[in-house]
Structure 1
Amino acid sequence: MKVAFVFDGLGFGGIERVGIDYIKIFRDMGYDIDVYNLAPNQNEMLKELPDGCKIINYKLSRKECPETYSYGAKRWWWGKYAYPLINIALVVYLFFKKLFFIKRKDKYDIVIAFSGHYNDLTFVANNFIKSNYKICWLHGALAEYLLLSHGYATLYSKIKNLVTLSDWMQQAALYGNRILDGTNIKKIYNPVSISNKKVDWEFVNELKEKYGEFILMVGRFSKQKDQKTVVRAIKILRDKYGINNKLVFVGDGEERISVEKLVSELNLDDVVFFVGSRLDVYNFYAAAKLFVHSSPAEGLPTVILEAMSFGLPIVATNSLPGVEEILKNNTYGLICEVGNEEMMAEKIATMLKDNNVYEHYSRKSKERIKDFLPEKISNELKNFINELV
């Protein structure tokens, strides 16, 4: 069986890492894999792909996709007049762009829009490559995407087969979007295999010597990740609770300079450290004492699962639906309100000051991660594919 994965870039990120894990599962199942990268300048993760994968670079940006602009029809009074014109223009544009690309003779059994963004969804929904079956991966709940824009519903209705990470408010979302009647929807958790990586224990010891029992956050620096709440929580930990554990950020992005500025303003330069994007992030999980996560909203945060696979206790904001889906009302980690640095500091202090609590949630992390092991997900995926074909 021949399968194509379509990505909106292969830079550093959780979606990309999960996609590579799925590619490895498909390869283990005996499938031939081609990978389409629609943002060729984002290619840092290419080296992580298994041997034998064929890479096809083809530029298609979100700005070229009609549904990108569908939110404007409801957001602004003039949007309902402008969007139809934009839609017609881009549909014609894509028709001619596809004519040129479709000269490729490749034909697939299954093609997967894995990033779940407008460009890879458009690429798959509009048959830029030929396939017997189409699937798209939703990195969260269906309701999340439909609340953002009706454009997603339009594309999902063309693809027909959806994989979600959570069924949060799904029935209500479907009731309000009859265009999706008859759509095949399956919840499958992301596989997490990072604990199988070969840890460099010498480097891990160096990290421990440099940062001590440090708190770790992994993620792209953007407003959607809200690292500033974590920084403010670290300030409260030091001033209110007398806790001086260092904080290490792994990641890069447009908000990094702003966060670095806040660190300096709060006089935390000796406590908060930035190490940039790392391919060897597993070494940081192995070295850390505790993992924090502060996003306002997340589908199913891969970084939380990766941290859990190393037995790290978790403190996370209640970014729906993903954090609740994983931590289950504080059963597998401590949840605090979004943007509430006081509550986050309190939860971290509870973990670090009470060893019984710390050990309890370390065990709970190891227990919960069993639901995300590649072997379990592989069986669910096989069943889904068998039902599909």
Structure 2
Amino acid sequence: MRILFYNGSLRMGGAEKILIQILKGLDKADKNIDLFISDDVKGENFFESEVPKDVKLKYLISSDLIEKTIYFKRKKKNLISKLFYNYYMKKEQKEKVRKLKELLKDKSYDIVVDFDMGLSKNIDLVKADKKIAWIHSPIDSWYRKADKIKRLGERLKKYDNLVVICDDMKEKTEKLYPFLKDKLVRIYNPFDIEKILELSEDNSEIEINKRDLLKERYIISVGRLDNYSKDYYTLLKGFKLAKNLGIEEKLYILGEGEERPLIESWIKELNLQDEVVLLGRYRNPYPWIKNAKIFAHSSRFEGLPTVLIEALICGIPVISSDCPTGPSEILKKGEVGCLYNVGDYKKLSEDIITLIKNEEIYLEVKEKSLKRGLDFDKKNSIDEIEVILKVGEKR
């Protein structure tokens, strides 16, 4: 069976991590798999080394071109730089299409899996008996204009199946595109529980001068440093209020991103320089999660937030915004962990205080967390993915 997987990048991210889990979990005995990655970003392709050796990896856009685009993106407030940014964005798209045509010349597949829908504008270039797209977050959270949402819907008609990663997202997608209802399939992201627990005991990646931080009492948050989607200002304000009410714990934020300076300015504004630690990025986040007292999440929107499930697998109580989509489903509407309305830093603070000050409640939530984490074992998801990857089976 000839299968093509496509994704935008191999950077550190939830979707990329899940892609690697799927590629590792599939039975390769009857499969010949190609993997096309759009962006070749030298030094940022964190998951490249984890791509299985029997998967053939090809990049579409050169690192030199991407570096130029990123350079002008950072200076976009300058009119000239904005013009150059738009120029290089168009040049990236042209290079992507050119490379696709080159790699696909005289080639056909049984199945193409468009893992981030980044192929949707060019899906006609791929000759395949079956076409599948993965939807990782609510479409109306990243496409705001009605005409763009409508155009995407027209492109999605070309796929045989659309995989959504939670029931709530399936429902929202059905409402947005009723004509796609029969193509939608819900498959939870696969998690290698045994591997996660093994890695949670491995401190080898952590710098020696930072290992003492693991011995502190702390709350952890994990995610890209992007305030638009992750809403770190609410997290910081909620933590600040909890500190004022007497908690001893510090706040660690694990992740990296272009908005680090903005978040650092808020930490200073709230006088939290001695209480908040920006850890940076780690390939293995699990020791930091496992040794935390609480996992706190403040996103405005998600798909099925990988980090929440990883925290549950590690047995760490979760406090999360009740954003669309995923947290409510993962936490069973608050039966496992705590949910608060997006932006409600006062409720976030109350939940922190409740879990830290009441040991009986804390231990009860911890036990429920461990049990819920088992529901996301990779075997169930990989079995469902194997079914959908059969040509002729359109669920």
Same fold (TM over 0.5): yes
Cα pair 1:195 1:310 within 8 Å, conserved: no
Give the superposition deviation at 1:98.
7.4
Matches within 5 A, 1:196-215: 196-197=195-196, 198-199=198-199, 200-201=201-202, 207=211, 212-215=216-219
Structure 2's unaligned 5+ residue stretches are 64-89
Task: Name the structure 1 match of 2:58.
Answer: 56
Cα pair 1:207 1:287 within 8 Å, conserved: no
Answer yes or no: is 1:131 the counterpart of 2:136: no
Answer yes or no: is 1:372 the counterpart of 2:373: no
CA displacement 1:72-100 (0-9 Å, x = unmatched): xxxxxxxxxxxxxxxxx99x979984784
Cα pair 1:244 1:271 within 8 Å, conserved: no
Task: Name the structure 2 match of 1:36.
Answer: 36
Task: Name the structure 2 match of 1:10.
Answer: 10
Q: Distance in 1 between matches of 2:143 and 2:314?
A: 34
Q: Would the alpha carbon gap of residues 285 and 31 (structure 1) be closer, same or farther in structure 2, given more than 3 Å must change?
A: farther
Q: Would the alpha carbon gap of residues 172 and 46 (structure 1) be closer, same or farther in structure 2, given more than 3 Å must change?
A: closer
Matches within 5 A, 1:225-374: 225-239=230-244, 241-374=245-378
Amino acid at match of 1:53: V
Q: Distance in 2 between matches of 1:175 and 1:312?
A: 34
Task: Name the structure 2 match of 1:67.
Answer: none
Task: Name the structure 2 match of 1:218.
Answer: 222
Answer yes or no: is 1:188 the counterpart of 2:176: no
Give the superposition deviation at 1:359.
1.2
After TM superposition, the score normalised by the length of structure 1 is 0.82
Q: Secondary structure at the match of 1:235?
A: helix
Cα pair 1:141 1:165 within 8 Å, conserved: no
Cα pair 1:141 1:164 within 8 Å, conserved: no
Give the superposition deviation at 1:379.
2.1
Matches within 5 A, 1:99-110: 100-101=101-102, 104-110=105-111
Q: Would the alpha carbon gap of residues 245 and 324 (structure 1) be closer, same or farther in structure 2, given more than 3 Å must change?
A: same
Q: Secondary structure at the match of 1:152?
A: helix
Give the superposition deviation at 1:196.
0.8
Give the superposition deviation at 1:337.
1.2
Cα pair 1:145 1:152 within 8 Å, conserved: no
Q: Would the alpha carbon gap of residues 157 and 98 (structure 1) be closer, same or farther in structure 2, given more than 3 Å must change?
A: farther
Give the superposition deviation at 1:168.
2.9
Further displaced range: 161-170 or 363-372: 161-170
Give the superposition deviation at 1:163.
0.5
Structure 1's unaligned 5+ residue stretches are 62-88
CA displacement 1:15-38 (0-9 Å, x = unmatched): 100111111122467533221111
Q: Would the alpha carbon gap of residues 158 and 274 (structure 1) be closer, same or farther in structure 2, given more than 3 Å must change?
A: same
Q: Secondary structure at the match of 2:389?
A: helix
Give the superposition deviation at 1:113.
0.9
Identity within the alignment, %: 28
Q: Would the alpha carbon gap of residues 173 and 231 (structure 1) be closer, same or farther in structure 2, given more than 3 Å must change?
A: closer
Answer yes or no: is 1:381 the counterpart of 2:382: no
CA displacement 1:29-70 (0-9 Å, x = unmatched): 753322111111152221122222211111299xxxxxxxxx
Task: Name the structure 1 match of 2:81.
Answer: none
Q: Would the alpha carbon gap of residues 234 and 360 (structure 1) be closer, same or farther in structure 2, given more than 3 Å must change?
A: same
Give the superposition deviation at 1:285.
1.6
Answer yes or no: is 1:112 the counterpart of 2:113: yes
Give the superposition deviation at 1:167.
3.4
Q: Would the alpha carbon gap of residues 360 and 130 (structure 1) be closer, same or farther in structure 2, given more than 3 Å must change?
A: same
Matches within 5 A, 1:75-114: 97=98, 100-101=101-102, 104-114=105-115
Q: Distance in 1 between matches of 2:235 and 2:142?
A: 27
Q: Distance in 2 between matches of 1:19 and 1:373?
A: 15
Q: Secondary structure at the match of 1:321?
A: coil
Q: Would the alpha carbon gap of residues 166 and 57 (structure 1) be closer, same or farther in structure 2, given more than 3 Å must change?
A: same
Give the superposition deviation at 1:281.
0.8
CA displacement 1:105-129 (0-9 Å, x = unmatched): 443221111123xx33334x223x3
Q: Would the alpha carbon gap of residues 100 and 345 (structure 1) be closer, same or farther in structure 2, given more than 3 Å must change?
A: same
Give the superposition deviation at 1:349.
1.0
